[in-house]
Amino acid sequence: MQAVTSFSDMSPKFRHGVVCNASTTFRVWAPGATRMDVKLGNGSVLPMTAAEEGYWVASAGASLNGEDYRFIVDGSSAWPDPASRFQPEGVHGPSRVTDLAFAWSDRNWIGPKLEEYITYELHTGTFTPDGTLAAIMERIGYLRDLGVTAVEFMPLAQFPGRRNWGYDGVYPFAVQNSYGGPRALQQLVDACHQNGLAVVLDVVYNHLGPEGNYFGEFGPYFSDRYRTPWGSAINFDAPYSDGVRRFFIENALYWISEFHIDALRLDAVHGIFDQSAYPFLEELGDEVHALGTELGRNAYLIAESNLNAPHLIQAKARGGYGLDAQWNDDFHHALRTVLTGDRSGYYQDFGSVDQIGKAWRDGFVYTGEYSKFRKRRHGRAIPEVHSSRLVVFSGNHDQVGNRMLGERLSSLVTLEDQKLAAGAVMLSPFLPLLFMGEEYGETAPFQYFIEHGEPGLIDAVRRGRKEEFKSFAWEGEPPDPQAVDTFEKCKLHWSRLDQDPHRTMHEYYRSLIRLRKRISTLLLPPTAAREVFVLKDVVNVYVTAGKSSLWLLMNFAKGTVDLPDSCRQGRWTLLIDSSSGEWSGPGSLVPKVLEGNSRPEIRLQPRSVVLYGDLTSE
């Protein structure tokens, strides 16, 4: 069988949007319409023919690449295409026919295995001064040299205005015009692959943004059976839901096929409501994995969920959905509360070093315990799921940006705390994720910003942000999300890479990443024996695989800690100590080599991470 090279080659599965090559075919789902037409930018109109299951089709005998168009519903109003490939004039403007043929140079690209992912999350608009996909090209070498293996983009689907986090997108198939559009993304992904970097794209299937959302003019995309924090839920299980499900499944296949995306991060899947016998998320996983097999590439789905629900990543044979991984907020909350002392809002459920130990041992901290924040029991234990199915972090766009002032961890804690947090994440058995700038201690905030065009909506967002912060002990007024200055403050300061302590922090992260890659065979295999315990606010982790072992000590105490008789048998060589003067620390107190049979006492500097290895087989 010939490999699929383009989404348009998958015509039996393709029902939404425009395919443009030598000819042009328009397709749209409008099950309640009695008449559909395509209005082209030159004023001409193509009548559409009704097909089965509510789809409409029109064909032009020639390529209309670059032609603007709208769909006319029942002979009255004309609207942009819900599956538009490009919105050059924004969410209210016409859609544009776009030939997505591209001369890819990654023909032999398979992509890293999931357990090899070290992910760097970034926001396109604030990662560089220009805020475009083309500008990111100039930083690919930097990311490669840092050592990360995957770059994750916050949502790129067309949103209102020029500045937004991306979760207000209303055209899931269209790459944001102010970022450079679809061709710029193809060029960037191709360049990432040439530099050995996988690409993860954040997609939003739980809601659509309010401004420019004309989906209701075409069909029942929304359901009143459920409510989400963002309004009406997407219709995944009510009447006519087949067309809606197909729309979003095709969107996932489109990114993987036409843009060679390696993994999709599924935003807030707890906001996807579906009681059907074959849930949308399970079906999505089946389709994406089948396409990856057909293309001969690794294709992954990584869910974000606040439910601590292991069925998302459990194997289908065990009744799970079979998704590849999910984010683990518990790990972050346990780490941040110990380092910062913040116990407001949802942080009230955290704050002990024992919880960090449990996160390391079990993945989730809440596995059925009572949550004071939720005022009910929360979560469930993960049975027989490998640790490399959980993504962990000391910060991400949500955990930074949903603070009132958007402060990063680097603005809240000391350098020693930052290095401890970095070690806890990078040396974990989970999949580590860095948020842009974290690797050099960036202090620019990451605040919430928008550029809506409707005054009523702007005021609603302002009120919503204030309401969101009421459960936290934060004083003052939140930054105005509509203000240009709010957005500009969030841009990274790359010049800090040449200054200390940022330069030292950057080198420390590079060393951690190199070390992680070197010992990944010990950190990650499911056959490795792992023991985790907490002693005097020090999380001890012993890992043994074959004849090699690791001993990790994370001291969360604010003072030095002596651990007598704690060293196991073996000859232990120091691999890294965050308190070393090499990393601008107060100075290492631990020996470079330990003989376990002498049962020596270990003294740890406050807020430090130390790793020893008995690497007989290395």
Burial class (CB in 10 A: 0-12, 13-18, 19+), 261: buried
Residues 253 and 287: beta-carbon distance below 8 Å: yes
CA torsion through residues 515, 520, 294, 246, sign: negative
Cα distance between residue 515 and residue 182, in whole Å: 37
Residues 206 and 268: beta-carbon distance below 8 Å: yes
Q: The tokens of 65 are what?
A: 């690449």
Residues 548 and 614: beta-carbon distance below 8 Å: yes
Q: The tokens of 221 are what?
A: 């995309």
Q: Which long-range contacts (CB under 8 A, 24 or more apart) does 137-140 make?
A: 137/187, 137/188, 137/191, 140/191, 140/192, 140/195, 140/197
Residue type, 130: D
Cα distance between residue 535 and residue 561, in whole Å: 10
Please enumerate in sequence order all residues whose Cβ is within 8 A of that of 510, keeping only pairs 6 or more positions apart, or say none: 145, 146, 147, 439
Q: Would you name the residues annotated as active-site residues?
A: 267, 304
Residues 618 and 572: beta-carbon distance below 8 Å: no
Residue 370 burial (CB count, 10 A): 11
Supply the DSSP string of 521-555, one letter for each residue: HHHS-TTSEEEEEEETTEEEEEEEETTEEEEEEEE
Torsion angle of the four alpha carbons 489, 494, 497, 500, in this order, in degrees rounded to the nearest 10: -30
Residues 326 and 288: beta-carbon distance below 8 Å: no
